[in-house]
Amino acid sequence: MTQTLLRQFLDMLAAERRATENTLQAYRRDLDDFAAFLARSDRHFTNASPANVVAYMRGLGDAGLAPASRARRLSAVRQLYKFLLSEGVVTEDPTYGYAGPRKGRSLPKTLSVAEVDRLIETARARIEGANGRDRVRALRLYALLEMLYATGMRVSELVTLPRSVLAGDGRVLTIKGKGGRERLVPLNRAAREALTRYLDVGYEDGVARMLRTKYLFASRGAEGHLTRQRLAQELKQLAEDAGLDPQRVSPHVLRHAFASHLLDRGADLRSVQQLLGHADISTTQIYTHVLEERLKQVVFERHPLAVRGDRN
């Protein structure tokens, strides 16, 4: 019964909300955990009580799960019961009235312009002198890095780009984001040139690497394209080579850098929202807090009063 209801819920998310496979897997993990907790008390989705929900959330807190992770678990359970109510499977929502954990405002991690430049220069330097497959990998990483910083694309959007995306104007890509929503993503000259170098190498000196798949960043793996996990690993190694802390560098951090640097140079919030593919501008507004914190730091470190110790 439990697995049947969970499968029906996930099918609804996929069909009606166009949830991605990663999203569906995250829901399944969270709800499997909740189901296992209920089973230990001989309960299941259809007869869980508010007390069960409270006990579950308290247990997550006692286990040291972060407030944000607990809030995500609660959200998954809420969505499940919203579905079960609509289907007439249950008559009451056991999560109703439960406030859940408070989440502190977490500012996105980012990099300075100088740090991004170091990454790009290090990636470009790797190409020189490289041959064969090493040269292909170096060109691929360089193209991916330039495109990440030039567009702010989600890593899942970037690594799954189809070759057909190049059919139109090479200066603007049409990509599908969350929920299947399409948006236009402009490419600057540096990104276009890096991408062209990467694509052209497949036809140089007989290098057999241009796999005939539908993906732009092809791979020999089962997916047919470079995975986001592999790209994250390559970026961390690049960070080490560039003398940066690898823990501070990831595809998502470069997305944050793209947005923060645009706003820092006067871009309006609505434009950044469209470029990032955010459905709600409140999601984009977090980057304004990054700028506020940076301005505070400048004042605290540079203002004469701050230097004399008056930081109030």
- Among all residues, which ones are annotated catalytic? 154, 178, 252, 255, 278, 287
Sign for the CA dihedral angle at 297, 303, 307, 311 comes to negative
* CB 242, CB 187: distance < 8 Å: no
CA distance 139 to 126: 8
Q: Could you give the 3-state DSSP secondary structure of residue 275?
A: helix
Amino acid of residue 229: Q
Distances (CA, A) of 239 to 122, 130, 233, 244: 9, 19, 10, 5
* CB 142, CB 195: distance < 8 Å: no
- Phi, psi (degrees; rounded to nearest 5) at 186: -75, 145
Q: Could you give the 3-state DSSP secondary structure of residue 176?
A: strand
Structure tokens at 195: 């991408």
Helix locations, 42-152, DSSP H:
50-62, 67-86, 113-127, 132-151
| Residue/partner pairs of 260-266 with CB below 8 Å, 24 or more apart | 260/108, 260/110, 260/287, 260/290, 260/291, 261/113, 261/116, 262/152, 263/287, 263/288, 263/291, 264/291, 264/294
- Phi, psi (degrees; rounded to nearest 5) at 148: -60, -50
